[in-house]
Structure 1
Amino acid sequence: AASWSLGALGVRHSDVNGSLTFNPDRRVAVHLVTDVTGRSEIDGTITLDSVRDPALDLVMEFERFQAVERLDVESLISGILTLEGRYGRPEIHGSVSVDEAILYVDEFARNVAVVDFMDLGTDTTEFFRQSLIRDIRNPFLENLRVEVDLSVPRNTWLRSNEMNVEMGGEQLIVTYDRRESDLVLIGDLQALRGSYSVLGRSFEVNGGTVSFLGTPGINPVLNIQALSRIRRIEDEPLEVTANVEGTLTLPRVALSTDEAGLVQSDLVSYLIFGRASSELATGQTAFLQGAVGSFATTLVSGAVATQLGAALAQGIGLDYLSITQAGDFMLAGGITNSLADTQIEIGQYVGPDAFIVLVFRPLSGQDAGASVFGGARLEYAFSEDYVVQGFFEDRFLRSGGAGFSSLGIPQAQVVGVFIFREWGY
């Protein structure tokens, strides 16, 4: 058995078996197979009419094959590629599907600069990118042509201490930039589900795109919307949207709401204190002191929970794990009440088209009549355009119950079904 390594991709494929059969007409029949890190099979011929520039006619088949395993990117792929032409002018064609992938956002940012996700006013217009194969030095790549259709059906994630977003899309185009010696991706992926943390508060992803604009390497443009519903004591709940924009290496966050008359500082104040910034300047000293204590607890516990959830998901092999605070506004200060609102969501694919999420509130059992089990959601993709979501949850679960169970207000269970239809123009 043989093995090969591609340091730029972080992979080593071992236990490669097969045969190389030399024929009198200078053709070498190739048959190579490895199934240690997924399955890969290479068949075809190499014609040695020119030893320095042989003719290539190879077919490569992949099944859940480990294509990349770096600190910033991991990916399993399936599909068929053909390698034709000469060694000095090779051409790669075919179709590939991404079975699983993770882009570790913090690693992308770390390779460029120190990025503060909590700075809502940062202007990050400078464009950076992360190389895919630029570090590989080989004459084979100097005149390489690539035309590959890449589909990303689901189970591809953007993950960081603040972000846990699943992407999907049917058609990306992969080419090769010979000047930059790197792969190029063109096309859009949809933000399917996930969460984003701003100032310790978890926002639920409800749409958006991740766009690859044809620049070498990996640095897509982000346009992701995530929603948090803040319960106010003396008013209707406030829906705040976190708009994640910029690029993968330099993202930025802006807050918005449909409610008129609220500026950015008001939204930040609502996220931290539960009230508008103007209300904090009215001399309500007792409230302000309590709000500051609530802010410290919310910010610290929220940030730690987000990082813990990301680490656990990666460590135990879950597709999605989120640890957040279910309550949007603490009626009584202190870390005990904050932890009592802890909500854990565990998500996993069940087959290629079904995704199930179980929700737990492990500390809510301290309240009389409260249940540890918070609910469940099931999403099923009937086709590329239709997705059905069914759920059984507390009526306050999606936006947080604000600790109402401790006041004797029951949290009734509700059952619902949503049907989503996607249109393209």
Structure 2
Amino acid sequence: MRLSGNWGEGLRVQARLDKLDLSLANALSRTAGLGGTVTGALDFSQASDATFPQAIARLNVDDFTRSSLGGVSSPVDIAFVGRLLPDGGDARALIKRGDTTIGRMVASLQPLGPGAGGWTTRLLAAPLSGGIRYNGPSSVLFSLAGFADQSLAGPIAVAADFSGQVRAPQLAGQLRAEKLTYENETWGTRLSQMAVQGRFDNDSLEIEQIEAVAGNGRLTGSGTIGLSAEQGFPIDLTVRFRNARLARSNALGATATGQLRITNGLDGGLIEGRIIIPEARYQIIRQGAAEVPELTGVYRKSELTEDGKRPTRVRPAGIFRLNVSVVADNRLFVNGMGLESEWSARMQVTGTSAAPIVTGEARVVRGTYSFASRRFELTRGIVSFEGGPLADPQINIGASTTAEGVTANINITGSGQVPRIAFSSTPSLPQDEVLSRLLFGSSVTNLSATEAIQLAAALNSLRASGGGLNPLGQLRSAAGIDRLRILGEDDTTGRGMALAAGQYLTDDIYVEIITDARGFTAVQLEIALTRALSLLSATGSFGGSRAGLKYSKDY
């Protein structure tokens, strides 16, 4: 790129481009994702801030692409010629895919005379005429939106003529698309066989119908999208879905039935409606990385007003108010970290899309919790959302099991961020006695020195502070072991209280060594054949060798 010009008494810039790599823009914006090369010339001049500028552009872009996590748009070549002068302007663009022309654009305008105000006012009020024709891959047009984790594929056709003014264009034409595929990498949403039918009517695009397949369900919608900047680009869309799979990822899977209405205008946007969740699955994953807090109330010194006051910040664009009710009668499955459960929920989501406020509660229908090789039945489960952060609800969960002649109870209260765990029993026993029987199968008075240390560490780790000593966790971390656990006695194999250490050799092969104080040693090997089927093999010093198959599936 070669630049020349002057600045001071007016502004004059001349630029000559020779196969300039557009990926240079990616260093300035992490969401740009531009690719291709541009060749051509740009000339701009303006005598003063009050005078009407003059601009001439001749650009050829080769292999233009826009990339995101969802993929890379189809490469196209773009030729653009345009000029802007005080007495008028025009622009022409051509989009080619290989040797085939898939898009054309022609536009012209006639700025108003000097008496109509400043040059920006004259430009926005200038009469506009022209048209656009496009018949090609939707990924090219969708890529211009720059969504980092979304993609759209399939053919689309647009034919529209425009008139009116630059600030309020009037369009007439049609939009047609079929067999589109939309994917959202964040939520795992995939809409296939999507068909869109719409028409341009003056200052709006009327979506007559949208249809798409979402998993085993369907999604339909209709509404209008405004094209007038003076009216705040108004939107009024209604989307209906039935058994539509709107999320599918390693941690979350959900189908939904209901209706949402999305509106937007000068007074802001609103999303309202009712969602019924016939089935959802959520996998609990312990977060190991530290969270970086977001600083608020920080301003650049240059942003302060003359009297030193902080400026009033404008609400970011794209923020919608929320008024959505969410209902799940059952089949809301929550699994992970020893929990296998089914829940129902009644919640109301208000606030904004940037800071949602959730009220309501979720109640357990049935479930179990595994702790220290014991299986607890959930007897009580209430998770209450009281308008605070979604990740920090109030918890009231109870579970019980029978161990060593007593009924042991686990009670979890507090909040999602600071849970409090306590043990009780029937007949009533001290908490350390209950935990001793759960972990080691015997009274606290019969524990060895090592077992007493482990019991103290377990009790300490259950405190609300969460900062207790965890020798097993530190040992596992230091040794690079993937899994370290304590196993109870097993009369079948002759194993006493034992320590098990395991390591994943690959994503599909897991090996574990088990040993106790009596000389028992065993090696277990698990090979995942599929997501549900695994091959098991075990060799022990007392019980010989054995092999088998394990099949597991969520119902």
- TM-score, with normalisation over the residues of structure 2? 0.43
C-alpha distance in 1, partners of 2:336/2:244? 24
Counterparts of 1:233-244 in structure 2, within 5 Å, are 237-244=405-412
Change (3 A) 1:54 1:25: closer
- Matched with 1:81 is 260
Q: Give % identity.
A: 22
- Matched with 1:253 is 421
- Matched with 1:23 is 201
Change (3 A) 1:151 1:66: same
Change (3 A) 1:80 1:291: closer
C-alpha distance in 2, partners of 1:140/1:161? 37
- Matched with 2:296 is none
Partner of 2:195, secondary structure, is: strand
Q: Does 1:154 align with 2:330?
A: yes
Which one of 183, 207, 226 corresponds to residue 380 of structure 2? 207
- Matched with 2:351 is 176
Partner of 2:442, secondary structure, is: coil
- Matched with 2:226 is 47
C-alpha distance in 2, partners of 1:298/1:112? 28
Report if aligned partners of 2:190, 2:246 keep a CA contact under 8 Å in 1: no
Counterparts of 1:345-356 in structure 2, within 5 Å, are 348=555
Question: 1:287-329: CA deviations, max 9, x gaps?
Answer: xxx96954328999xxx9xxxxxxx9x9559xxxxxxxxxxxx
Q: Does 1:268 align with 2:428?
A: no
Question: 1:180-236: CA deviations, max 9, x gaps?
Answer: x14332111111111111112111111121222323443433321111012x4xxxx
C-alpha distance in 2, partners of 1:258/1:41? 55
C-alpha distance in 2, partners of 1:270/1:298? 19
Report if aligned partners of 2:198, 2:205 keep a CA contact under 8 Å in 1: no
Count the aligned residue pairs. 277
C-alpha distance in 2, partners of 1:315/1:253? 33
- For residue 188 of structure 1, what is the amino acid of its counterpart? E
C-alpha distance in 2, partners of 1:165/1:279? 35
Partner of 1:278, secondary structure, is: helix
Larger helix share, 1 or 2:
1
Partner of 1:140, secondary structure, is: coil
- Quick check: 92-101 or 40-49, which moved more? 40-49
- TM-score, with normalisation over the residues of structure 1? 0.55
Change (3 A) 1:112 1:229: farther
C-alpha distance in 1, partners of 2:189/2:531? 20
- For residue 318 of structure 2, what is the amino acid of its counterpart? F
Question: 1:359-405: CA deviations, max 9, x gaps?
Answer: xxxxxxxxxxxxxxxxxxxxxxxxxxxxxxxxxxxxxxxxxxxxxxx
Change (3 A) 1:155 1:335: farther
C-alpha distance in 1, partners of 2:531/2:275? 27
Q: Does 1:296 align with 2:498?
A: yes
Larger strand share, 1 or 2:
2
C-alpha distance in 2, partners of 1:246/1:62? 36
C-alpha distance in 2, partners of 1:66/1:110? 29
Partner of 1:63, secondary structure, is: strand
Question: 1:220-270: CA deviations, max 9, x gaps?
Answer: 33321111012x4xxxx311011234555665532211323x212111121
Change (3 A) 1:95 1:44: same
C-alpha distance in 2, partners of 1:52/1:4? 29
Change (3 A) 1:77 1:43: same
Q: Does 1:9 align with 2:176?
A: no
Report if aligned partners of 2:190, 2:214 keep a CA contact under 8 Å in 1: no
Report if aligned partners of 1:56, 1:87 keep a CA contact under 8 Å in 2: no
- For residue 209 of structure 2, what is the amino acid of its counterpart? H
- Quick check: 290-299 or 201-210, which moved more? 290-299
Question: 1:122-146: CA deviations, max 9, x gaps?
Answer: xxxxxxxxxxxxxxx98222xx111
Which one of 240, 265, 277 corresponds to residue 444 of structure 2? 277
Report if aligned partners of 1:221, 1:245 keep a CA contact under 8 Å in 2: yes
C-alpha distance in 1, partners of 2:203/2:553? 59
C-alpha distance in 2, partners of 1:173/1:335? 58
C-alpha distance in 2, partners of 1:104/1:246? 21
Report if aligned partners of 1:87, 1:140 keep a CA contact under 8 Å in 2: no
Q: Does 1:102 align with 2:281?
A: yes
C-alpha distance in 2, partners of 1:75/1:157? 10
Report if aligned partners of 2:250, 2:283 keep a CA contact under 8 Å in 1: yes
Larger Cα Rg: Structure 1 or Structure 2?
A: 2
Change (3 A) 1:346 1:21: closer
Q: 1:100: how far off?
A: 1.6
- Which segments of 5 or more consecutive residues in structure 2 lack a partner in the other structure? 1-177, 292-314, 449-487, 503-511, 513-527, 534-540
- For residue 50 of structure 1, what is the amino acid of its counterpart? A
C-alpha distance in 2, partners of 1:335/1:36? 54
- Matched with 1:163 is 339
- Matched with 2:318 is 140
C-alpha distance in 1, partners of 2:427/2:323? 47
C-alpha distance in 1, partners of 2:348/2:331? 19
- For residue 174 of structure 1, what is the amino acid of its counterpart? V
Report if aligned partners of 1:185, 1:214 keep a CA contact under 8 Å in 2: yes
Which one of 49, 64, 69 corresponds to residue 248 of structure 2? 69
- For residue 295 of structure 1, what is the amino acid of its counterpart? M
Q: 1:17: how far off?
A: 0.7
Q: 1:160: how far off?
A: 0.8
Q: CA RMSD in A?
A: 3.9
